Amino acid sequence: FLIWLKSVINSRSMLNEQAKEELILKNIQKMQKSGIGTIGEISSFGSDLNPCVRASQNGMRVVFFNEILGINEAQIQDKKQEFLTRFEKSLKFKDEFFIPAISVHSAYSTHPELAKFAINLA
């Protein structure tokens, strides 16, 4: 697991560049053509919001999990605000096909105060 995790961290910038909006939308459309009617998207940074909204406008039901994460106690307030900004932005698109939701990242990478904040918000 640690080897895999390190490879993900080392490749993050390359992976982010490859996950552009059109590529995300194209792959969602492939899933929809294969018969998938609902997807759950775990969004750590919000960069996938637009393609998910576009997919929902084309009949794909999307549960859009806004993820909260961060372990550094000194950054808790910044992380809360960053999360709220992303969550509120996703709420603007809420309808029967686009469902904004809240997700807490893994226990080892989320400060307990952030987890409680997200749980109370949910």
d(CA 103, CA 106): 9
Tell me if the domain spanning 20-121 has CATH number 1.10.10.
Answer: no
What are the residue ranges spanned by the domains of the chain?
20-121
* Cβ atoms 104, 68 nearer than 8 A: yes
The pLDDT score that the predictor gives to residue 99 is: 99
Give me the mean pLDDT over the 85-93 stretch.
Answer: 98
* Cβ atoms 61, 97 nearer than 8 A: yes
The pLDDT tens digits of the residues spanning 96-115 come to 999 999 999 998 899 999 99
Q: Answer yes or no: pTM beyond 0.75.
A: yes
d(CA 44, CA 8): 14
The pLDDT score that the predictor gives to residue 100 is: 99
Strand partners, 64: 41, 100
